[in-house]
Amino acid sequence: MRELSLAALSLIQDRPTDAVRAADAAGFSSVGLRLAAIPASGVDNDLLDNAANRRHLRQVMDDSGVRLLDAEVFRFSPADGVPTPQEATLAAACELGARFVGVISYEPDLGRAADLLGQLAEQAQDYGLSCLIEFMGFSAIKTLTDAHTVVDQSGAANAHILVDTLHVARKGTSVDELRGLDPRHFPMAQICDAASGGVEHDPVRARAEAVSARLDPGTGVLPITDVIRALPAAVPLSVEVPRPIGRDAYEHARSLYAAAQATLTQL
């Protein structure tokens, strides 16, 4: 059975324990969580420096059976100048049972980004974690080609590419491009839908859509099933759609799970 995960962004304003409980009630087998605070986002789950909070979160996950798929988020050359504490974040991700840690790069030099990814991946390996670098039109890793270049040059066997159906569409990535890369590069993917298709050249609009205007899978026009078919069979799918005003956490999780399951029936 395909693993479906509730992405961190989907319930980003809710406490991690509440996100886990909502995911469990909806039927998700795993979640993504934001571990490190990002000052510009206003989100701080108080996990890195609070062992009691981590123990409580792990107990809630153990009680529910919901696992931690991916932990967010490392940033290279962060726009606000505040780096993610690497050792503490990796240790917390490991303690909570994560398989992957997310990476976003604002480093314009792809060679330096590759070096940074290699260094992070080496640290992550000690904790049994793999790194996923995401390509987005508003970061320095804008395309699938950029992401592949950085991963390849990093030389790290535990460095991979995170594919997101929204960014695939907005950067004009083709299904053939995805199929043309080694399947090992894609150990999981994020899915959502959008009201319109096509490339988005404006990074400001691209970012605004990514953080606040995603739609439930199957309610827009993105070729979600084509992207899924181009990826290795049975990779976990993380459903990333911010909770809209008027939906509580449980309703939102149920809606996303039902939409994802409906999408899978079309494969």
- pLDDT of res. 42: 73
Q: Could you tell me the CA-to-CA distances from 252 to 2, 109, 154, 191, 214 in Å, in that order? A: 20, 39, 38, 15, 13
The strand ranges marked E within 1-108 are 4-6, 30-34, 67-76, 100-105
User: Cα–Cα distance between 214 and 56 in angstroms, integer?
Assistant: 31
Q: How far apart are CA 2 and CA 167, in angstroms?
A: 22
For the chain, what is the total number of helices (H) and then of strands (E)? 10, 8
Q: What is the pLDDT of residue 129?
A: 98
Block residue for tokens 């199957």: 218
pTM value > 0.85: yes
Among 194, 264, 258, residue whose Cα is nearest residue 222: 194
Q: In the prediction, which pLDDT does 27 show?
A: 98
Percent of the chain whose pLDDT exceeds 90: 92
pLDDT, tens digit, for every residue of 201-252?
A: 999 999 999 999 999 999 999 999 999 999 999 999 999 999 999 999 999 9
Query: Which domains does the chain show, CATH number per domain?
Result: 4-264 (3.20.20.150)
Instruction: For residue 39, give both structure tokens.
Output: 């000052």
**Closest among 78, 133, 122 to 100, alpha carbons compared:** 133
What digits encode the pLDDT tens for the residues 168-185? Answer: 999 999 999 999 999 999
